Chains A and B, each alone.
Chain A
Amino acid sequence: MSAQTGTPSFVPSPPSSRAVDLARTSLRRVRNNPNPIWIRELRQAARLGRTPIILMTITALVALLMTAIGGIMSVAASPSTIGITLFHTFFSLAFFVVTLLGPALAANSVASEREGRTWEAVILTGLPPKTIARGKFLSAFTNISMYIVMLAPVGALSFLFGGVTALEVVVAFFFLFLFALLGVAFGLAISSALASGRTAILLSLLLAFPLTLVAYLGLGVGLSVAANDAWPAVIGGAPVWLPTAYERAPFSLEYITFLVVIPIAGLTVPAWFFYEITVANLTSLTDDRATGLKRWYVVMVPLLTAAIVIPVVTLGNGKPSGSIMVGVSILFSFVVFAFFVFQGDAIGPSRRVLVHWERKKASQLTRFMGPGLVKTISLVFVLGSVGILVLAVAGVAVSLLSPHVTDRQLEAERVVAFVEYAATYLLFLGGFAAWIRTKASTSGVARVLLLVAIFLSAAGPWIVAAIAGVISEGSDEALIVAAPSPFFAFVLVGMLDKAQRGLATIVGVICSSAWALIGLGLFAAASVRAKRIIHEHFAMLSESEKMLAQEDEELQRMDLQQQNLDSAPENALVGQGESGA
């Protein structure tokens, strides 16, 4: 039932396993019980006078630009060339519109509620953070979708000229909606962490602009060259290549990998992450904010590992160590990113979380996936290490077995040397992340200190080497001074086929072992400190509970005494009556 839409209460249909029935039930539920925040924001947006003006202005400007380009080109170019040019121009512009406007629209949602002091009223209604997040998402996504729909007739112009098919235009529009989805989710995640609408909009635009540019140039223009190599029908150097590839590339394993699996993963990984971050930020500090994000991480590591391993294994490559190094670097960066994210986890579960676990008889797995800093960082490290190990095994296997590899021994050694350094340095970072969080007053401070530690350990040795002037000597041995830096792993790999390999290997092993030992020590210290903090906190609560229980007993005793006193005269009278009788 919805008071806003006047729809009656939703009565669930009899249970059915048919997909059609399930879909129908879901649709009825959405229609009868629409997200209240979504409906309210739509009503508010409908009264905003500037929205149609902005929509009309953008549409008119894009239409003018497209017709101008078409008009100028029609003098010399063929219709199909005009069609292709208009297609790339329109969808490039539309891409920037949705990826910049989407975050900006979403960024204002939660932050403006906090700023306008309406947030507490919403929270106190008992709406779960997930429902609020979905409502806010739907609202911003509906807004940005209106922009896409308004632009649709202009975008369809390109296919009228030829050069691109109707299906390619439809797929391109579909991708616009997907990019809008990501943009909105990104803006919402930022908004959920801030208390000022203007700051949220500014920050989301500051972050969205470079990301959009990198995505456009890297994934658009850059990847189109590789796509053209793989599938010559796809135009190289053209930014909007992906929607055309679905029709132009022949169906194969590569098609499934690069046009289905990787785009789905590329969309799901960040979208799910932004959703979980939003929900965590909307959840009270003393509730369970960790489980959703940990679930995301647990799923993402194997997915990411598979996404790296599959191309390495399937594509014939003469130097698999290079691919593995790139893959390990990606996975390594992902795990380090997770360390930063999980710095926001609570040091231990709150009393509220513990009581809820107890009442629900929560399983050990539920408890493990709940809040608790050390176990969370340990989980992040262990899973990340397993992923890196899988990459190492795959790399060694491909090096030793692939017919494309010439120097099998060297390739395998390179993989092992690189992975060993990466894993041990990761252990250090994990230990440091856990330890510094138990020392720092807030998660923000802990994140900054972790960043400083990474910078000092990664760049510091190179700075020392530069100051000493050893780099300028041009000797490879001199680079050994920088062995404590994780970037030394790349130098080490490069030295394995040279005369200095013995020294470089020894120094590399010493340094990586040192990182591992320090990491283990920090993990142990963090564990001890976290336990002490939790113990002190609960000991204080326990003391408080005891005191309150004693007070209750005392009050009960006094009440009882009072009752006895009150009933004493009556008893006396009764006694007199009895004796009189």
Chain B
Amino acid sequence: MSTISIVDSSLDSVSISATAPRNHSPYAIRVRHLWHRFGAFDVLRDVTFDVEHGQIFGFIGPNGAGKTTTIRIIATLLEPMAGRVEVDGYDVAVDSESVRAIIGYMPDHAGVYERVTVREYLEFFADAYQIPHLGVVETVMELTDLEKLQDKLVVEMSKGMKQRLQLARVLLHDPKILVLDEPASDLDPRARIEMRDLLLELRALGKTIFLSSHILTELADVCTSVAILERGALVVAGPIAGIAEQLERRRYAMAYGHHAAEDRPAQLPSSPQGQPQQASATGVEAPGGQSAVQPAVTPGGVPVPGSARKRLKLRVLTDANQAAQLLWGGPGILEVEVHASGNLLVGYQGSDALIADLVRHLVTHGVAVVGVEPERSELERIFLEVTQGEVQ
């Protein structure tokens, strides 16, 4: 790494070094050993993660976990007390002007000028960014589907439209990286779907999107990688599939008495936040409405940790109780429950191949399976498994 050393005579020969800006960093955002403190309270503690170019990166955590502080540091609005944050190779603490030129930051609950029209609002920011093309406002309005509203006063717009306007604002200077803090908060379902589609469109245009939210289903649909923050510390970071795989290996290691440390991903915490749960007796709705108890154990008789069990939602057209009877006692099946809606909830342990076997088994026996989906998304499962639900 190229650095420049500084020796300032007025500082009695104190020497520091600053990373010289790099134009082609392999990472869009690099957060390394980031610490921040408000008063005597550590808001961020040794947070480290990387965001690669072209990703939609989800930044997850409960309220008060330190998400907004991290984002404000990335956006150059706060200086980190220790550690380093680089955006496309530029140190946010040193080259804030360069960082501002390549990021588009949309804060949580940001305000808008209300007594201007949509067009006037965007024209102002186009001038403020000193964009040398008069057509940029039209382009951005077209991209964000605001053309029809261009003469509407901002004060008369819905929350969803205002949020869309904010997104249009941050796109004016064609930033490489978008930093969006809770972009879908307070939005109605339609606006959320539209926002999600817009983010996917932006990703297709080559933008890197760093997105914070605590609505996991929203992130699960769009994110390729995530970082989960709890009480100011990073719990886990990486591609969703990679984290899920690592957690799966850890679950098995715990279940069969192996040491998880060998299989732990680089950014997985050394002590798991979700301690192995005690095997619990699970109530299973027996066919005919009788209740049966089936212990959650592995084939070797070892109790299965709660985190290792997965649940599947099956929608069938035929008799659900008949389907439940067909599944009950099968290999890897831990529990079967007939839901009041007529759906089947199947607790199982194993890989996706088991699901395929399970569906084939049902179809072979004349059960019309019309839907198979996990009860919780992968991201929700990860979140629940690695966090303790504590707030600071």
Contacts and interface: CB of A to CB of B under 8 A. Distances in A.
Interface of A: 1-4, 6, 9, 36-37, 39-40, 43-44, 47-48, 116-118, 120-127, 284-286, 348-352, 354-355, 357-359, 367-368, 372, 375, 531, 534-535, 538-542, 544-545, 547-549, 551-552
B131 interface: yes
Contacts of B8: 349, 354, 357, 367
Contact of A122 (B115, B120, B128): B128
Contacts of A127: 128
Contacts of B93: 286, 351-352
Given A124-B105, A284-B96, A538-B14, A552 B132 contact: no
A126 B79 contact: no
Contacts of B111: 116-118
B256 interface: no
Contact of B16 (A39, A116, A124, A542): A542
Contacts of A284: 79, 96
Contacts of B372: none
A530 to B, nearest CB: 10
29 contacts: A3-B123, A4-B123, A4-B124, A36-B124, A36-B128, A37-B124, A116-B111, A117-B110, A117-B111, A118-B110, A121-B107, A121-B125, A122-B128, A123-B77, A124-B75, A124-B103, A125-B129, A348-B11, A350-B79, A351-B16, A351-B18, A352-B94, A354-B11, A355-B18, A358-B6, A358-B18, A368-B10, A534-B12, A535-B12
A126 B129 contact: yes
Given A124-B75, A351-B93, A551-B32, 11 more contacts: A3-B123, A37-B128, A118-B111, A121-B125, A124-B105, A349-B11, A351-B94, A534-B14, A538-B11, A538-B15, A549-B3
Interface of B: 1, 3-4, 6, 8, 10-12, 14-18, 32-33, 75-77, 79, 82-84, 93-94, 96-97, 100-101, 103, 105, 107, 109-113, 115-116, 120, 122-132, 134, 136-137, 153, 166, 169, 173
Given A3-B137, A352-B94, A286 B77 contact: no
Contact of B124 (A39, A348, A367, A541): A39
Nearest to A115: B111
Contact of A120 (B77, B97, B153): B77
B4 A372 contact: no
Contact of B125 (A6, A125, A355, A531): A125
Contacts of B18: 351, 354-355, 358
Contacts of B96: 284, 352
Given A3-B123, A125-B128, A352-B93, A545 B17 contact: yes
Contacts of B122: 3
Contact of A4 (B1, B101, B120, B130): B120
Contacts of A348: 11
B116 A44 contact: yes
Contacts of A126: 97, 100-101, 128-130
Contact of A40 (B1, B116, B136): B116
B132 A367 contact: no
Nearest to B92: A352
What are the 7 closest A-B residue pairs judged by CB atoms, nearest first?
Answer: A36-B127, A117-B111, A125-B128, A116-B111, A3-B123, A40-B124, A3-B126
Nearest to A541: B16
A540 B82 contact: yes
A40 B100 contact: no
A441 to B, nearest CB: 9
Nearest to A284: B96
Contacts of A359: 4
A9 to B, nearest CB: 7
A351 B97 CA distance: 15
B89 to A, nearest CB: 13
A501 B84 CA distance: 66
Contacts of A40: 113, 116, 120, 124
B72 to A, nearest CB: 9
Nearest to A372: B10
B16 A545 contact: yes
Contacts of A44: 113, 115-116
Contacts of B107: 117, 120-121
A121 B169 contact: yes
Contacts of A125: 100, 125, 128-129, 173
Given A118-B111, A372-B10, A43 B97 contact: no
Contacts of B173: 125
A291 B127 CA distance: 28
Nearest to B99: A124
A48 B115 contact: yes
A284 B18 CA distance: 19
Contacts of A122: 128
A4 B172 CA distance: 14
B20 to A, nearest CB: 9
Contact of B100 (A3, A4, A124, A541): A124
B110 A120 contact: yes
A544 to B, nearest CB: 5
A366 B268 CA distance: 48
B82 A375 contact: no
Contacts of A531: 11-12
A547 B113 contact: no
Contacts of A367: 8, 10
Nearest to A132: B128
B133 to A, nearest CB: 9
Nearest to A356: B94
Instruction: Give the one of B8, B93, B96, B137 with max A CB within 10 A.
Output: B8
B110 A4 contact: no
A39 B94 contact: no
Contacts of A121: 107, 110, 125, 166, 169
Instruction: Give the one of B16, B18, B115, B166 with max A CB within 10 A.
Output: B16
Contacts of A123: 77
Contacts of B1: 549, 552
B131 A3 contact: yes
Nearest to A4: B123
Contacts of B136: 3
A120 to B, nearest CB: 6
A39 B100 contact: no
B127 A355 contact: no
Contacts of A535: 11-12, 14
A549 B18 CA distance: 11
A3 B84 contact: no
Given A375-B10, A535-B11, A3 B112 contact: no
A48 B114 CA distance: 11
Contact of B6 (A48, A117, A354, A551): A354
B348 to A, nearest CB: 37
A544 B82 contact: yes
Contacts of A538: 11, 14-16
A127 B32 CA distance: 29
A548 B10 contact: no
A36 B84 CA distance: 34
Contact of B17 (A36, A368, A539, A542): A542
Contacts of B113: 40, 44, 118
B134 A3 contact: yes
Contacts of B127: 2-4, 36, 39
B129 A547 contact: no
A368 B8 CA distance: 11
Contacts of B125: 121, 125
Instruction: Give the one of A47, A125, A531 with max B CB within 10 A.
Output: A125
A285 B79 CA distance: 9
Nearest to A117: B111
Contacts of B83: 544
Nearest to B11: A534
A41 B382 CA distance: 48
Contacts of B131: 3
Instruction: Give the one of B4, B17, B137 with max A CB within 10 A.
Output: B17
A174 to B, nearest CB: 32
Contacts of A4: 120, 123-124, 127
